[in-house]
Each structure stands twice: as C-alpha cells, then as structure tokens.
Amino acid sequence: MRRPPRDTEDSARRINRRALFMGGCMAATMAVLAGRMRYLGIDQSDAFSLLAEQNRVNIQLLPPARGLILDRNGKLIAGNEQTYRVVITREGAGDVDLVLNRLSHLIPLTQEDLTRVLKDMAKNPAFVPIPVADRLSWEEFSSISLNAPALPGVTPDVGLSRLYPRDTDFAHVVGYVGPVSEKDLEGIENPDPLLHIPKFQIGKIGVEKWTEDVLRGSAGNRKIEVNHVGRIMRELERAEGQSGADLTLTLDADLQNFLQVRLGDQSAACVVMDVQNGDIMGAVSAPSFNPNLFVRGISNADYRALMDNDHRPLANKVAQGAYPPGSTFKIVTALAALADGQIDTDTTVSCPGYLDFGGRKFHCWKSGGHGKVDLARALAESCDVFFYDVAQKVGIEKISEMGKTMGLGQRHDLPMSAITEGILPTKEWKQARFNQDWRIGDTINASIGQGYVLASPLQLAVMTARVATGRLVVPRLVKAVDGVEVAIAEALPLGMETSHLQTVRAGMDQVVNGQHGTSYAARIDNAAMLMAGKSGTSQVRNISAAERETGVVDNVDRPWKERDHALFVAYAPADAPRYAVAVVVEHGGGGSLAAAPIARDALLRVMTGALPDPMDYPESQRARIDAMLKDLRLRRPDGSQPPEIKA
C-alpha cells in the first residue's frame, strides 16, 4: 500500500532533524577532543615529556670508595680490596627460586644465604640489585658469566670491600665495618641514602665507627634506561662519587706490631704516648681478634669462640678496661698531699707493717714494715702505710680532685668505642651510688688505688705524661685528615709547684734505678735512656685475717682469675721525658714482675725505633733477653710470620 505524500514528507523532516542532532553531537565531541588533544599535546607537552622521561630513565646510587686508614708513617692499616660478587634482580629473574637453585649449583649457598636474599628482595623494589654472594674466586665468577643465559636477572659484578692487612694488630683501635642493620638506622633522623643500599658497609666500632662521616664519602649516580617493567636496557650517564677522606693515625704500625707480639696470649693492655704532643704511638689490647672475620660475616663458631674466651679478646682493655690502679695511684695521693701542704720532702712516717685504725688493721705489702720512710723512699719501695697516714690528713675530696687534674676520672675524647670514665670516688659519689656515708677506711683504701678507685690504661698513660711534663697533655689519635694535619691541643701548665713534681719524679726514678726500688730488676742499663716509673699490684679478692695468720697464698698458686692485676707506668728518658707508657696485665701478679718488663721493652722499642738491643739490659739478663727477642721475630699471637718485626 502506497504511503501518502504527506507522511513521506514528515518522515523526511524527522530524519533530517535527527541527523542534524547527531551531527551536532559529533561535532561537539570532536571539538572537545581536539581541545583536549591541543591541551595535552601543546599546552602540557613539557610536563608529560618529563613524566615519560622519568618512566624511561632511573637513577641509581653508586657507593663511593671508603677512605683509607694509615699509620703515622703512611703504612696501610685499613684499605679496600676489589672483590668479585654476584647480584640478582627480582624483576629480571622471574622465577627467583628456580634461578637461585641453579646458582647454588655453581657457587656454595647456604640456606641462611637464600633466606637473606629473599628477605632483601621483599624490602626493595623489583629492579634493585640484591647481593647474593661476594668474595668469589675467579673460577666461580667465570662460571656464572658463562652460564648467564640460564640465569636471568643474575649479574656478576666487581665491588670494593674493606680489608685489614695487619689483621690482629689494630683490631681494637681501628675496629671494623659491616653491613648496615636496622639498629644502625635507629635514631638517625635523615639517613644517608647510601645506608639503604643492601649490604652497604659502615663502621661498627673503633675509628671506623667514630669517624664514619669522614671515611664514608658521598655517593655517585648513574642514569640507566629501563623498559616498561623496569629492566635495564643501557647506561646513559655516570657520575662517580666522592671517595671518603684518608685518615692518618698517630699510631706507629711497627711499634703496634711489636707490642701485640710482646703481650702474646696474656690478657693485657699497653699504651705508649708521646708526652710532647699527646700522640698515642701504640695502643694494644691482648688477646686480639681478626677484624676481617666480621667484614666477611663471622661464623657462629668463630664468634662463640671469641665470646667464650675468658681473656675477653673482643674487649678493648686500653680504653674500656677499668681497673683498680693499685700503687700507681700513690703518685696522685703524693701530689695531693704536697699541694695541700700536709707533707714536704722531709716528712717521715713510721711503718711497722700495718696501720691500726678503729680496731682494724690496714696492712702494708711488706709484712715486717719499712721502718721510717720519707716520700721518695715511700714511692721507691711502695710503702702503703706512708700513704695510709697522709691520706687521712688530705681527705678523699682533694685526692679525687688531684686525680682529675692528672687525667683520671674522665672520658678522653678519642675516636674509640666504649671509653670508660673510670671512678674517682667522693663522699657525694658514694652517697648517690650506695646510699652510704663515706668512711675513713674508704679514704685509706683509695690512697693506694684500691677500694672504689678505677682507671683505664689510657688514663694511666695520660697521668704519667702529665707527671713527666708538668703540663695538661691531651691524648691524640688522629694525626691528619686527607693530608691536612689535625691541630695539636695546647698543653697548659698543671698549675703545680715545680718542686712537688720534682719530688715525685725523684721517687719514680728510684723505683727503677735505686737498688731498693720495687722495679730495679726491670731497669734500662743505658744512661741515655733511663726510665722512671711506678709499679702497682691491685687485689681482686679480699684476704681474710685467718689467711694472713696462716700465710697468704702466692699468686702463682691461685686460680688465674684470683690472681692480682699487675700494673706499671713509666716515662723515658728520665732526665728529658719524651714517651710515657702504661701497662696492665690482668691477673698477672706483681706489677714489678709482670708489667714492668713489658713497659721497659715498649720504651726501648719506641726510643730506638728498632727491636731492643740486649746490651741495653742488665748484664745478667742479656742472654735471656736475646732469646726472647729471637722468639719475637718468629711468632705472632696467631702463629703467622710477623712482617714488621725485624732486627
């Protein structure tokens, strides 16, 4: 049936309206799209180009070379060695477990290694290289390179790792480095981005830790092109970082090696100082340990062996050890009494072998007594009763004040770990510490370096240097930074009467060079290098009255841990002091027998710059000394050949 013309016309009009509407909508849409495209393509082109570039280019940190640590003569103490290692990226590996399994057939990987790698991967972005193993042999490195097609995401790499070429000699002073831990990051408000690099090494103890900011340097960077999933395509640009500064220490590597060998397997410490500028020439704690073990990741067995050793090889006895100074403290008591006007060079005290105070006997080391003694003889023969008597007149406050003037009871500012402050007790100190009143008996004990008094070998060396010079000598360990000399602190006068110091020095001279001195057997038989010193023996247990009646058991007959500590301090040459030394031998017995010979050897070594000459010893000792020196040339505590001990 034919439609009427009118209906056809209406239908055509409706179609035209719809077409116009649809066309208008399409035109509007096209206009909006064109405007948007113009906005994105022209107006915002710079911003989107930058975003595209950032997605295409990544910037990675490049760890700097750690600064070297050298001895005073430029000999290497801590350096960096090139090592072969292997890293893996999670993005590139795909099936990480499969790749690690294949890798374990080429190099030894423990379950602990695998767990650590997976843990590091979980903490870092997929494209960050995670160290799997380092210190690979060339054969292992080559094997990984040859099998690269079967090890996606695995990259053999060359890096730097810390090396201590003199192993045990500087372990306690220089310390060691190790990977950054969560504990290291605690308390750091804005940590250096370098610290987030897996297995990045930082100082853990000693000079390595306390000069970390100087040694670390600053990071470099490299720009790398990556694909849409983060895989590295090529390196676009590289800017090397700034290496850490080199540190020159005041220590002498040859002297340090000599002291380490001389102390041997004893539990002991020795400090040698230049009294003219405070330079620490030698600082050895024995027994020692190999810091390279910690850099490489010490095994549980090795660490347990160090921890279980009753001679405490991990402890830095030089600065951390706090010991009753024994009779070496009589130097402080004598100076306090002289300064307070309680005694002079002519003052005498009668010593019957004990002091009776309040019904309690305070014994002298010489049971029969010394008779009538003046200050010089009291120091030379170490009469306890003389110092018991004068200490009561002076009082503990002035004795402690003098001790502080002499460098005790304070933490010296050096880049070493766990430096002890020691203890110089006072009435207020005891009340605060024990809630007890101070007693005269406490002063009597303190006068001879017993009771509450504690000092480190470092502090005793400073005390000796100040006695020798009459000046406030300040210890120094860092000599230069990147070749620029560190300023030497001005040693101000002690503010004491010269006659008082001369009196004490005369007594110290007689300790070693007087025939009745406690350390006469340890003298130097060379007029140009005579030493002056003071011995000390500090008890580690109480001697009962019953034991005194039946006879005190000799040190050699007691268990090692019940034996007295042996101490000795000295300076030389006696008439023109240049070096001071302090020695502590834990449970070594008498200071004159165990510690004084070590101090003598140390002073001869530093004064001559060579292995001591047997002719500088008393004639009766020369054959024995010659045999000892020959033995020192052949051994070290670890049994290896010592490269620095030469005739």
Residues 6+ apart with CB under 8 A from 168: 260, 288, 289, 290, 636, 637, 638
CA distance 180 to 193: 12
CA-wise closest residue to 94 among 54, 152, 139: 152
Provide the 8-state DSSP code for 323.
B
- How far, CA to CA in Å, does 351 sit from each of 101, 366, 408, 417, 504? 80, 9, 28, 43, 20
- Using CB atoms within 10 Å of the CB of residue 84, give its burial: 0 to 12 exposed, 13 to 18 middle, 19+ buried: buried
Residues linked to residue 485 through DSSP beta bridges, in sequence order: 480
Task: Report d(CA 361, CA 364) in Å as an integer.
Answer: 10
Residues 6+ apart with CB under 8 A from 170: 77, 78, 164, 251, 253, 256, 291
115 vs 365: CA distance, rounded Å: 61
Task: Find, among 518, 523, 482, 510, the residue nearest to 618 by Cα.
Answer: 523
Helix axes 330-339, 384-394, angle to 10 degrees: 40
Identity (one letter) of the amino acid at 639?
Answer: G
- 55: tokens are 């997605």
Q: Which tokens in the block code for residue 302?
A: 């090795």
Question: In the 8-state DSSP scheme, what is residue 333?
Answer: H
CB atoms within 10 A of CB 624: 11
Annotation marks residue 49 as catalytic: no
Radius of gyration for the alpha carbons in the chain, expressed in angstroms and rounded: 36
DSSP 8-state symbol, 557:
G
**Residue 356 burial (10 A CB sphere; 0-12, 13-18, 19+):** exposed
Residue type, 11: S
Q: Are 323 and 454 in contact (CB under 8 A)?
A: yes
As a whole number of angstroms, the distance between CA 563 and CA 560 comes to 6
- Cβ proximity of 235 and 222 under 8 Å: yes
Catalytic residue among 161, 267, 285, 327: 327
DSSP 136-186: E-HHHHHHHHHTGGGSTTEEEEEEEEEE-TTGGGGHHHH--EEE--HHHHT
Amino acid identity of residue 12, one-letter, is: A
Instruction: Give the residues across from 480 on adjacent strands.
Output: 248, 485
Give CA–CA dist 593/573, Å, rounded. 21
- What backbone torsions phi and psi does residue 424 show, to the nearest 5 degrees? -115, 95
Residue 232: strand pairing partners: 226
Q: Give the type of residue at 570.
A: A
Distance between CA atoms of 139 and 145, rounded to whole angstroms?
10
CA nearest neighbour of 111 among 123, 128, 97: 97
Pairing of strands 268-274, 280-286: antiparallel
Instruction: Give me the count of residues in the chain.
Output: 647
Q: Which residues does the annotation mark as catalytic? A: 327
